[in-house]
Amino acid sequence: MNKVDEQFSEVQNWRRHLHRHPELSFEEKNTALFIAEKLKSFGLSVKTQIGGHGIVAELEGKEPGKTIALRADFDALPIHEENDTPYASENPGVMHACGHDGHTAALLGTAQMLSKYKEQLKGKILFVFQPAEEKPPGGAKYMIEEGILDNVDYVFAAHLASELPLGQVAVGAGYQMAAVDKFEITIKGHGGHGARPNEAIDPIVIGSEIVQSLQKIVSRRLDPLKSAVVTLGVFQAGAAFNVIPDEAKIEGTVRTFDEDVRDLVEKEIHSIVNGIANANHANCEIDFLRGYPSLFNHPEETATVNDILKEVFNEEEVVALEPTMGAEDFAYFLKEKPGTYFRVGSRNESESTHYPHHHPKFDIDERALLNIEKAFIKIVSHYLVD
pLDDT value at residue 2: 80
Bridge-partner residues for 284, per DSSP? 187
Mean pLDDT confidence for 36-57: 98
pLDDT value at residue 253: 97
> Is 80 exceeded by the pLDDT of residue 386?
no
The SS3 of residue 385 is coil
Mean pLDDT confidence for 319-325: 97
Residue 323 DSSP symbol: P
pLDDT value at residue 241: 97
pLDDT value at residue 175: 97
CB count within 10 Å of CB 258 equals 17
pLDDT per residue as tens digits for the range 131-161: 999 999 999 999 999 999 999 999 999 999 9
pLDDT value at residue 235: 98
Residue 149 DSSP symbol: T
**Contact call for residues 294 and 177 (beta carbons, < 8 A):** yes
pLDDT per residue as tens digits for the range 338-363: 999 999 999 999 999 999 999 999 99
pLDDT per residue as tens digits for the range 63-82: 999 999 999 999 999 999 99
- Beta 283-290 vs 295-297: how paired, if at all? unpaired
Return the H-helix or E-strand segment holding 29: helix 29-41
Q: Which of 73, 75, 101, 328 is catalytic?
A: 75
Question: How does residue 301 score in pLDDT terms, banded at 50, 70 and 90?
Answer: very high
**Contact call for residues 103 and 31 (beta carbons, < 8 A):** no
CA distance 29 to 71: 18
Residue 293 DSSP symbol: P
Task: Name the strands in the sheet holding 228-237, side by side, starting at the edge strand that comes first in the sequence.
Answer: 228-237, 247-256, 179-188, 283-290
> Of 47, 194, 202, 52, which is closest to residue 126 (Cα–Cα)?
47
Instruction: Give the amino acid at 345.
Output: G
Sketch out the chain's domains with CATH numbers.
2-176+294-384 (3.40.630.10), 179-290 (3.30.70.360)
CA distance 25 to 295: 20
Can 75 be counted among the known catalytic residues?
yes
CA distance 63 to 105: 28
Q: Which of 23, 81, 101, 133 is catalytic?
A: 133
Cβ burial 65-87 (10 Å sphere, 16+ → b, else e): bebbbbbbbbbbbebebebeeeb
Mean pLDDT confidence for 47-61: 97
pLDDT value at residue 1: 77
> Of 25, 67, 72, which is closest to residue 330 (Cα–Cα)?
72
pLDDT per residue as tens digits for the range 176-209: 999 999 999 999 999 999 999 999 999 999 999 9
**Contact call for residues 126 and 58 (beta carbons, < 8 A):** yes
- Counting DSSP H helices and E strands in the chain, the numbers are 11, 16
**Contact call for residues 297 and 173 (beta carbons, < 8 A):** yes
The SS3 of residue 276 is helix
**Contact call for residues 331 and 177 (beta carbons, < 8 A):** yes
CB count within 10 Å of CB 150 equals 10
Question: How does residue 307 score in pLDDT terms, banded at 50, 70 and 90?
Answer: very high
pLDDT value at residue 345: 98
pLDDT value at residue 373: 98
pLDDT per residue as tens digits for the range 269-285: 999 999 999 999 999 99
Average pLDDT, the chain: 97
> Is 90 exceeded by the pLDDT of residue 377?
yes
Mean pLDDT confidence for 216-235: 96
